[in-house]
Chains A and B, each alone.
Chain A
């Protein structure tokens, strides 16, 4: 079925409803007398049928409905009295419309004179009762005077003097200029002498006027059409410049042309006081304020700029390390290069940045539809829609966000009666917001529903064998079970959510984007999901750290502080991990050398550095590294695309030296010691790594403990 067929089907369905409504309204009016509301409703129905009929080219229907509609319009205005006879006539007219709609649907022809008697009665009613207004519906067929236009190129001088309040209706002079420019070759000049001083200037008023010299073969009518919408909001003067038109008579008498009627386009010399002589090259039209660019082109540019950043870093490093003495000029040149590359990169990124609005805007409809399906009362409140983030992030955000909103409406918000019983307003609220927070975008979805029922989650998890019978879980761990693959607590599987493929996929999607989800659950009060995402997936501000001979990048956003530990602050938890006491707080520490099995790394922790990092879900761990080599902005290269995913590593980059460095994934690392279930993992990991350099580690351990 083609789209057109689909539209037609919708149309005929709609006609069926409308005809029924119109008939019942008319029947009521016949019994109880006409009302303004009733006439309005009937008019609307007929108008809609006519409008759709016009779109599909049902001429007979449109012609008949037009007369019908005109009569209804006059009845509404009181130009024709709504007598019982008229209502009867309307009812019969309705039957004719129904017949015509039916004929249009089946494709048969009813003949020329179908409904002719009713039509003539309608015409009689229209013309008989109000002859003076009868013509009202006939006016406004603009005389498309093709003028004396012989098709040659003319030079028009168009003066556009907007009224102060032109902008009130969101009219945009730039667009008019752009459109005018599309007619031919245009030179525009802005006359700004009416602009008042800054303290008197109202930014919502237009003080500028424009003068255009347009070379085009179009008619004056076409020029006027450009200004059709603002006809009443401006003074428009159009004239033909005879100086440039060779065949124009030497008409020496200047004459200002005031909004001339369409047909009047004889060449005339314009008198424009402020304008310089034509031909003295006024400024080029600032016609375009935005342009559409193929995304591929932008991406190519982003990539190239990425490579440029790497190259720039490489040159700098090579020069620094070389024995060649750097002159002050070279030094300055390098500095400028660094500065400009950075700026270039930021501007390129800004091209790709877009507000999350486009994703947020889809949500109100989703919530409306969901609440209808689920018979709940839910409203959505959004804020921070203007928060900008990389296009890729915006694009990938749509699905997870939709899933989460669905989850909130379906599982979070209770039925209206239950809400009332719990002392809450019947209408539930889902609050969707976005904000920038320390170099990331944080999107939160907060509902005022029942919150996550921890007992039920726990029961379900045990039943499904996701956790052991006797495992003791913290509240936070229970909440996070909802992200477990195959988990769904919905009593019945609804077609909204609850197929158990929801939240784990959401979490996976978010993690793939380098983001984290955090749950804030208050049973009875509601749930808040916070997504924290990087602003861009292409570059990263990182700290370059060295472990042994290896170099890693640690995302700057994760780093809280760096410290050199004192021996007495380091304690070993038997069979688990070491902890470091930092100002009375115990933080688990992870030896990067052990995680990646690096030899030649410093073994004495008091000679190493501990980088205190925090994951997006506020877990703190200390990473033991050898040294900090400095801060650097790196271009992220996907590890999965080039190799395969590695736990604890989020990507790779190429350093200025040309070396490849891995970018550490703090949350992945914290997972190694973070949750209890993963601790054995860590032990295993530590044990296997230890075996590789057995003796030294053993020695090291004793030292530390």
Chain B
């Protein structure tokens, strides 16, 4: 049974690349454009991992993570944040909000899949 990944990013490019990479690796995917959209798309569908950008319109990644951690279905779902290398404090902020880990941008498909493997059972 294929694992399910949701990713949330306001950039269509990133979404398409994530989608391509993940589907190619046999994952099922859900996409969200921002926090609000993500919550709506997600509903009660349990994911195996949720990947989110931090800086997004409508609802940013930190708020999204906090909401997910309060959600009865998603509170124990691994969450990875997308950060850039310079943003050490962002990693920590994400972690404090409830993120499980992070993926540093830009990333290669291998790195992405390896990082997902680290948090997904």
Contact = CB atoms under 8 A, between A and B. Distances in A.
Contacts of B100: 169-171, 229
Interface residues of A, number: 54
A3 B10 CA distance: 20
A368 B44 contact: no
B30 A170 contact: no
B102 interface: yes
A266 B17 CA distance: 43
Interface string B81-106: 00011101000100100111110011
B59 interface: no
Interface stretch (A6-14, A459-467, A525-533): A6-14
Contacts of A232: 92, 95
Nearest to B2: A358
Contact of B41 (A141, A170, A171, A365): A365
Interface in A17-57: 40-41, 43-44, 47-48, 50-52, 54-55
A631 B99 CA distance: 54
B72 interface: no
A360 B41 contact: no
Given A140-B86, A174-B121, A365-B30, A14 B11 contact: yes
A228 B83 CA distance: 15
A140 B13 contact: no
Contacts of B92: 232
Contacts of A6: 16
B113 interface: no
A354 B1 contact: yes
A51 B119 CA distance: 23
A300 to B, nearest CB: 18
Interface string A153-174: 0000000000000011111101
B71 interface: no
B84 A51 contact: yes
A175 interface: yes
Contact of B45 (A50, A169, A361): A361
A277 B45 CA distance: 48
Q: Is the interface of A mostly helix, strand, loop or mixed?
A: helix
A403 interface: no
Interface string B27-59: 010110000000001011110000000011100
A691 B82 CA distance: 78
Nearest to A44: B55
A170 B45 contact: no
Interface string A659-695: 0000000000000000000000000000000000000
A602 B84 CA distance: 82
A289 B120 CA distance: 11
A343 B100 CA distance: 39
Contacts of B76: 167, 170
A406 B85 CA distance: 44
B100 to A, nearest CB: 5
A139 interface: yes
Contacts of A167: 76
A169 B12 contact: no
A228 B101 contact: yes
B76 to A, nearest CB: 5
A37 to B, nearest CB: 9
22 contacts: A14-B12, A14-B13, A40-B55, A48-B11, A48-B13, A52-B13, A55-B17, A66-B86, A137-B86, A140-B85, A140-B86, A141-B85, A169-B79, A169-B99, A170-B100, A170-B119, A172-B78, A175-B119, A229-B100, A232-B92, A357-B45, A361-B28
